[in-house]
Amino acid sequence: MRGLYIGRFQPFHLGHQAVLERIALEADEIIVGIGSAQASHTTSNPFTAGERLAMISGALRKLGKWFYIIPLPDLERNAVWVAHVRSMLPPFDLVYSSNPLVIQLFSEAGIEVRKPPLFRREVYSGTAIREMMMAGDDWRALVPPGVVSVIEEVGGVERLRNISQGDRPF
Amino acid sequence: MRGLYIGRFQPFHLGHQAVLERIALEADEIIVGIGSAQASHTTSNPFTAGERLAMISGALRKLGKWFYIIPLPDLERNAVWVAHVRSMLPPFDLVYSSNPLVIQLFSEAGIEVRKPPLFRREVYSGTAIREMMMAGDDWRALVPPGVVSVIEEVGGVERLRNISQGDRPF
Amino acid sequence: MRGLYIGRFQPFHLGHQAVLERIALEADEIIVGIGSAQASHTTSNPFTAGERLAMISGALRKLGKWFYIIPLPDLERNAVWVAHVRSMLPPFDLVYSSNPLVIQLFSEAGIEVRKPPLFRREVYSGTAIREMMMAGDDWRALVPPGVVSVIEEVGGVERLRNISQGDRPF
Amino acid sequence: MRGLYIGRFQPFHLGHQAVLERIALEADEIIVGIGSAQASHTTSNPFTAGERLAMISGALRKLGKWFYIIPLPDLERNAVWVAHVRSMLPPFDLVYSSNPLVIQLFSEAGIEVRKPPLFRREVYSGTAIREMMMAGDDWRALVPPGVVSVIEEVGGVERLRNISQGDRPF
Amino acid sequence: MRGLYIGRFQPFHLGHQAVLERIALEADEIIVGIGSAQASHTTSNPFTAGERLAMISGALRKLGKWFYIIPLPDLERNAVWVAHVRSMLPPFDLVYSSNPLVIQLFSEAGIEVRKPPLFRREVYSGTAIREMMMAGDDWRALVPPGVVSVIEEVGGVERLRNISQGDRPF
Amino acid sequence: MRGLYIGRFQPFHLGHQAVLERIALEADEIIVGIGSAQASHTTSNPFTAGERLAMISGALRKLGKWFYIIPLPDLERNAVWVAHVRSMLPPFDLVYSSNPLVIQLFSEAGIEVRKPPLFRREVYSGTAIREMMMAGDDWRALVPPGVVSVIEEVGGVERLRNISQGDRPF
């Protein structure tokens, strides 16, 4: 069985990893779709698709499963989004997502979606981690060590703090 | 005389129908432009252009006039929007709209715009109807019966409630 | 039964009209999709979607059926084209087309396509008519009278001849 | 030395002019990049790129330097924005900007950015001037006389007031 | 009087310069529109908009007129192209172009177009110069000295020769 | 060392596999970029990105290296293509490509490109294989067995034959 897990991963954190470990119990192969792949350098999407890909790959290697990590640029047309996603991915049997729109769109297309149990969502949340980064709080314990390395290498915290003062080009 | 009436029709309601009946007194032929045609599955644009088209056609058939219903995708460039609309439509003599930007853009292009008297706007408003749908209130009396059928057939109320918990893909 | 007939209609000619008459025997309602709706002012797509819409509506009115004429802009992503078309149209049961790609895309999506018998294709062909226009030959007998009016009103033959000397902006 | 100054100039005001005068002391040639060039007719971007270009050119002529004024449409992909800007402009040595995202993006690309001292920002600000226009206050003293002419010629204040009642097409 | 001269300038050559000199006799101010501004690194569009801008500015400075050089990205919708161009430029009175589509589009919009007499077109042509570059023939005498500098600085001849072996990304 | 190999893989064949085996001798990790990822259902791009991804993954698994397979949609702006590719991928040290434009674009950006020795190009070529498919010749020996399975599962040969009669939507 091949399972698809879709998220934005801004950044990838231990909550995401717990979901992946859960999916690994059910699926033979895992596809991770990186949503809003075209976005970066904004307060809600600070990291590029390539940076997020580097964050995720470490975690996936440890699962001992065949996996794919695929950037999925937004199409701005919800009505064709499922067809768009399917054309970019190898065939999959099941979608894991807790995003209401993703669930709705796949359900209308007749594709089964499972809502993974969220792992301590009040702590492990991209929004919360980005806020900690901007506030100068310690976010490192909330993500895998490999993610810390990627973020430090690209100067991610400084980037986020700078653009938090204005993330529109002008 | 051919009149153009532009709206988003999320959903088409009795206020829109009253405007169309008024236009039918003045115009020989009616063009209905469905704005933001590319949008769907969001809290302010829950229905696809095709679903909105199905909602409108019943009402237009009853008017006994020749009509066109044309989806108009946004161009994200207001400065060329009028040229875009004109290239997609048969020639028209008059625009009916109460949208300030639509009025401004057509006026700058030298095209006459008439503001139709809104029919009990505090009751008949797309925003209000979508809020009633989300709250579980009875919205059915505010739209023509044919619109109730279209919305029920596509599971529109359930769709709107689901995506109201988050209408961004990720 | 609602049938969808898709073409570019550059211009609409008597061959198209013969197909529509045939569809009218089978379908209760007819949707005409104007393909490549964004294109105009090129040698293979001289007319705007609005001009083509005006050409087609005269023919459809004579059929005595409810009909829709919908401009369909290209998406440049064949893999989502069917989803795009379905989101812009009211529901349909059957597609009529003799275009190989349209047939393939709808077939892969599990939608029935019927190939209408072409009516004297060696004579009634958009390409042939555009060539006659450019060569100064008489094309008027190949299209319905209403189409002659639309083309003459917009200076279509002169337009086509001018751009045939170079239809790229620069 | 060729310096690049990027802004939205909605509208161009005396604060911008003070910055340009400062740049003129350091640079031999000046490039002014008009950001969000595709935007117009919204409350935060009321003027077209062409109108802004006309506003800026008067001020630049007085500086006695060679200059370029280049409209820069947004790309919606921050990660390629610097490459996009560089491909549209003649080579430049230095960027002047006080926009946090612009500074971050050029810095990550290894291009030097200087933050020009803002000239009485509490008074000379595009946002403040647009609000004065909408409120009917006198904004004329905050912009160069040439800018007053451009805005009056295109009916800019009336445009802004009208669209402030709703600047989405529908 | 403000005149607009539109071309692709791949590269800018002495024929273009002769036209500009001619326009300078009639116009008080000159706008040069760089068409297909988004294109570069193809056999028919080897140079970026920025490189072409650098080529043109030398020639314009010698004319002793106020001028603007504006990159114009293609919109792929001929029907809105004139509105697009007008929104990006300061107002102009007259268009100079020998491109059939440009002439047709401005004429349909009611804007006067003058066809400049081409200066020895069999010799001074972008296509011919690009072919000389690829063949290793001497093209330098056909362009102003400043253009030779720009092309040599960016390695333009080597670029063109390399991509002439295949100018599609894959 | 992380190497990037870019191609269209329409379809993936034994020549591609020989190149990958060669890269595997030099690189610790391999990124395969699927070019023109948005294209499918045309005679030169018959397969979707997802189908191509499924073709490639079998071959990569046998190499015993960590790998990524990333769909790369075209941007239609060569000048930003390298920035676009880099933003979508994890960091890489070396590019392998025999495509002239890819080589030129990466070289201008200062990134090292190696031209892999092509393996019997007169036999192992996507174009040749697609022609064999259309002609009904036996192409199976030219691709890995896993690719035969993918193509047969999606009806790829029939798809290609059908659209070869016309691969424009209309």
Provide the pLDDT for residue E156: 98
Which tens digit of pLDDT belongs to each residue from A9-33? Answer: 999 999 999 999 999 999 999 999 9
Residue type for B59, please?
A
Question: Would you say residue B168 has pLDDT above 80?
Answer: no
SS3 A95: strand
Provide the pLDDT for residue A76: 83
CA distance B7 to chain D (A): 6
The whole-number average pLDDT for the span F39-68 is: 95
DSSP F4: E
What b/e string do you get for F116-125 counting C-beta neighbours within 10 Å, with b at 16 or more?
A: beebeeeebe
Q: Sorting pLDDT into bands at 50, 70 and 90, what band is B161?
A: very high
Instruction: Measure CB to CB from residue A170 to each of D8, D79, D108 and give the nearest one.
Output: D8
Contact yes or no for A53/A7 (Cβ under 8 A): no
Q: Sorting pLDDT into bands at 50, 70 and 90, what band is C168?
A: low
User: What DSSP assignment string belongs to chain D?
Assistant: -EEEEEE--TT--HHHHHHHHHHHHH-SEEEEEEESTT--SSSS--S-HHHHHHHHHHHHHTTTSEEEEEEE---S-HHHHHHHHHHHS---SEEE---HHHHHHHHHTT--EE-PPPSSTTTS-HHHHHHHHHHT---GGGS-HHHHHHHHHTTHHHHHHHHTT--S--
E and A: touch, per 3+ CB pairs < 8 A? no
Question: Would you say residue A170 has pLDDT above 70?
Answer: no
Provide the pLDDT for residue D167: 67
Residue D136, number of CB atoms within 10 A of its CB? 9
SS3 A87: helix
Q: Which residue of E has its CA nearest to F36?
A: E170
Q: Which domains does chain E have, with CATH numbers?
A: 2-163 (3.40.50.620)
d(CA E149, CA E135): 20
Q: How many CB pairs under 8 A join D and F?
A: 26
d(CA D111, CA D92): 10
Question: Would you say residue B167 has pLDDT above 70?
Answer: no
Contact yes or no for D149/D57 (Cβ under 8 A): no
d(CA A40, CA F83): 13
Contact yes or no for C126/C45 (Cβ under 8 A): no
CB atoms B99 and D48 under 8 Å = no
Provide the pLDDT for residue C146: 96
Question: Would you say residue A45 has pLDDT above 80?
Answer: yes
CA nearest to D102, candidates F84, A154, A163, A37: A163
Provide the pLDDT for residue E167: 66
CB atoms E41 and F100 under 8 Å = no
d(CA B136, CA E75): 44
Which tens digit of pLDDT belongs to each residue from F85-141? Answer: 999 999 999 999 988 999 999 999 999 999 988 778 778 999 999 999 999 999 999
CB atoms A83 and C87 under 8 Å = no
Neighboring chain E residues of B80 at a CB cutoff of 8 Å: 75, 80, 83-84, 87
Provide the pLDDT for residue A131: 97
Provide the pLDDT for residue D160: 97
Tell me how many degrees the CA angle B44-A89-F23 measures, rounded to the nearest 5. Answer: 140
CB atoms F68 and A53 under 8 Å = yes
Tens place of pLDDT per residue across chain D (170 aa) = 999 999 999 999 999 999 999 999 999 999 999 999 999 999 999 999 999 999 999 999 999 999 999 999 988 899 999 999 999 999 999 999 988 999 999 999 999 999 988 778 788 999 999 999 999 999 999 999 999 999 999 999 999 999 998 766 54
SS3 F98: coil
Q: How many CB pairs under 8 A join C and E?
A: 50
Cα separations (Å) of D138 from B146, D58, D130, D144, D158? 52, 21, 11, 13, 14
Q: How many CB pairs under 8 A join C and F?
A: 49
Neighboring chain D residues of E53 at a CB cutoff of 8 Å: 68, 70, 88-90
DSSP C33: E
Torsion (CA) A73, A167, A101, A2 in degrees, nearest 10: 40
SS3 C32: strand
CA distance F84 to chain D (A): 6
Contact yes or no for C132/C139 (Cβ under 8 A): yes
CB contact set of C116 (below 8 Å; sequence gap of 6+): C5, C19, C22, C23, C96, C97, C98
Provide the pLDDT for residue E117: 80
Q: For tokens 């947004």, what's the residue?
A: D74
Instruction: Measure CB to CB from residue A88 to each of F49, F57, F86 and give the nearest one.
Output: F49
Provide the pLDDT for residue A33: 97
Residue type for F114, please?
R
Contact yes or no for D60/D30 (Cβ under 8 A): yes
Q: Which two tokens stand for residue C118?
A: 């072409």
Q: Sorting pLDDT into bands at 50, 70 and 90, what band is F148?
A: very high
Which tens digit of pLDDT belongs to each residue from F9-32? Answer: 999 999 999 999 999 999 999 999
Provide the pLDDT for residue C51: 98
Which regions in chain E score pLDDT beneath 50?
A: none
Neighboring chain B residues of A35 at a CB cutoff of 8 Å: 169-170
For C139, counting Cβ atoms within 10 Å of its Cβ (0-12 exposed, 13-18 middle, 19+ buried), the class is: buried
d(CA C68, CA C56): 10
For D131, counting Cβ atoms within 10 Å of its Cβ (0-12 exposed, 13-18 middle, 19+ buried), the class is: middle
Query: What is the share, in percent, of chain E residues with pLDDT greater than 90?
Result: 87
CA count, 13 A, side-chain hemisphere, D24: 15
Neighboring chain E residues of F99 at a CB cutoff of 8 Å: 166, 168-170
Question: Would you say residue B170 has pLDDT above 60?
Answer: no
DSSP E90: -
d(CA F135, CA F145): 20
d(CA E69, CA C158): 32
CB contact set of D115 (below 8 Å; sequence gap of 6+): D96, D97, D98, D103
Question: Would you say residue F76 has pLDDT above 60?
Answer: yes
Neighboring chain C residues of F155 at a CB cutoff of 8 Å: 108
Range scoring the smallest mean pLDDT among B30-44, B115-129, D35-49: B115-129
CB contact set of F158 (below 8 Å; sequence gap of 6+): none
The whole-number average pLDDT for the span C6-14 is: 96
CB atoms E100 and C162 under 8 Å = yes
Subunits with 3+ Cβ pairs within 8 Å of E are B, C, D, F
Alpha helices (runs of H) in E66-125, residue ranges in sequence order: 78-88, 100-108
Sign, CA dihedral A93-A98-A99-A101, equals positive
Neighboring chain B residues of C69 at a CB cutoff of 8 Å: 68
Helices (H) and strands (E) in chain C, counts: 7, 5
CB atoms E54 and D90 under 8 Å = yes
Cα separations (Å) of E62 from A137, C54, D127, E146? 59, 51, 39, 12
